[in-house]
Chains A and B, each alone.
Chain A
Amino acid sequence: MGAVRRVLVIVCSLAVTAQAVVLCLATGGRSFTRFASKELAAMNREHGLESLFDGAGGAVVQDLPTVQGEFTFGWLPAGGGLENLSVVSVAGPAVLVSLLAAWPCRRRSLN
């Protein structure tokens, strides 16, 4: 492989890897990929019941924790289908390509 092509392959692979990592961090940096869930979004929407009991009778109770239903590009694949996309599954092949391109290739002596 020519030196220029080799450098291009490495640069492109690193760009893919860097973008995958940035996307992961920008969407929360969670371990596993998840896609926006309509069911979770509907559950997490304010229906007003919780607020009716805020401070009821002087009781101080914390709100029920929430499972976030937004898209998260995770470090690891979460399972089948689209949830297989992750930093590891996207950047992995890119890193592999760049390693192959960077692999020192000795030229045999002509003698």
Chain B
Amino acid sequence: MIPKEKTLQTRTNWIARTLAVTTVCVAGTGALAQDKKSTAPPSEVEPAAKLPATAPLPEGSKVGLPVPAELAKKGSVYHCIPGKDRQVFFQSDAPFEKIEGQSNAVIGYTIAGPKENPAALQAGEWHLPVASMTTGIRKRDEHMRADNWLGAEKNPNIIFVLREVQSVQPVGNKTVGADTLKDSTKAYVGTLVGDLTVHGVTKSIEVPEATIMFVKGNDDTAKIAPGDLMAIRAKFHVKLSEFGVKNEVVGRKVAEELSIDTALYHSTQEPSATAGVAKTK
């Protein structure tokens, strides 16, 4: 028979333990609620978090980058089509899983080369708004836009200015290629040479094996996008430290090199509105 005092002591111990566990759980839930609450008043959050979690362009957005008149004279102007299919996919190695993100808000233009070699692009410029890059995880997006990462507030765009395309080659074997060139589609492979600006730092880069494709506009293509169409597919790597992105995480928890895959679709149809982005030249 256990005395009354002993039973009471056992019960007190049990209640104390239960209370401790409950306190831990309630504290955890409170932290959750607090976190949710803290995102509500924008004035109380850090500057990077003031930006919208994601800012993709709405479908059918008709915005573009103004084309300088002197460049427009050089050849057919193709305007980037934002707000539709994804245009940029980026990936970085991290300890638990690869960080992946994408955007469909790239605006820009390119000037095609002469008729016999349209892929020898004369010029081009594209702007990727940092705020449009999304990984699907809100907190991660906020970190990416913070000052010690891409610094979206000071440098709202990642910019690529094309200077030339080197080593342009038509795609396809000779027999098929000859027929293909007569078709309404053409494809070429070349090396894009230009200046990439990330985090306010500009570096000259080369993007080898970029595929440049042309599709002559017709009734079928007009249902999707008006005008003659052009696409540039390119893959390249960006070393974050070379662009001034340095913090305790880069190179340790997150790989220093960012792998970027792009699919930029263009049309000769001029967008109805420009995004108000200042010309870089």
Which residues of A line the B interface, CB within 8 A? 1, 30-32, 34, 37, 39-40, 42-44, 46-50, 52-53, 55-59, 61, 64-69, 75-76, 78-84, 89, 93, 96-97, 100, 105, 107-108, 110
Contact = CB atoms under 8 A, between A and B. Distances in A.
A69 B40 CA distance: 23
B279 interface: no
Contact of B54 (A31, A39, A46, A110): A39
Contacts of A75: 96
Interface string B184-207: 011111000000000000000000
20 contacts: A32-B97, A49-B265, A52-B224, A52-B225, A52-B229, A53-B265, A56-B185, A57-B181, A58-B187, A61-B233, A64-B89, A67-B135, A79-B138, A80-B38, A82-B36, A89-B28, A96-B24, A100-B17, A110-B3, A110-B6
Contacts of A59: 171-172, 187, 189, 211, 213
B213 A56 contact: yes
A57 B97 CA distance: 37
B39 to A, nearest CB: 7
Interface string B25-62: 10010011001101100000000000000101001000
A42 B229 CA distance: 22
A66 B104 CA distance: 12
A56 B214 contact: yes
B157 interface: no
> Among the interface residues B17, B38, B103, B183, which one has the most CB atoms of the partner chain A within 10 A?
B17
Contacts, number: 166
Contacts of B137: 32, 34, 78-79, 83
Given A47-B84, A52-B225, 9 more contacts: A37-B54, A48-B223, A49-B85, A53-B265, A57-B181, A57-B186, A57-B213, A59-B187, A79-B138
Interface residues of B, number: 70
Given A53-B213, A82-B36, A105-B13, A67 B56 contact: no
A69 B17 CA distance: 41
A55 B188 CA distance: 12
A57 B136 CA distance: 35
B177 interface: yes
B156 interface: no
Given A44-B86, A93-B28, A67 B102 contact: yes
B96 A31 contact: yes
Contact of A52 (B35, B171, B211, B221): B221
Interface string B211-252: 101110000010111000101010000000000000000000
Contacts of A76: 96
Contacts of A32: 96-97, 137
A57 B180 contact: yes
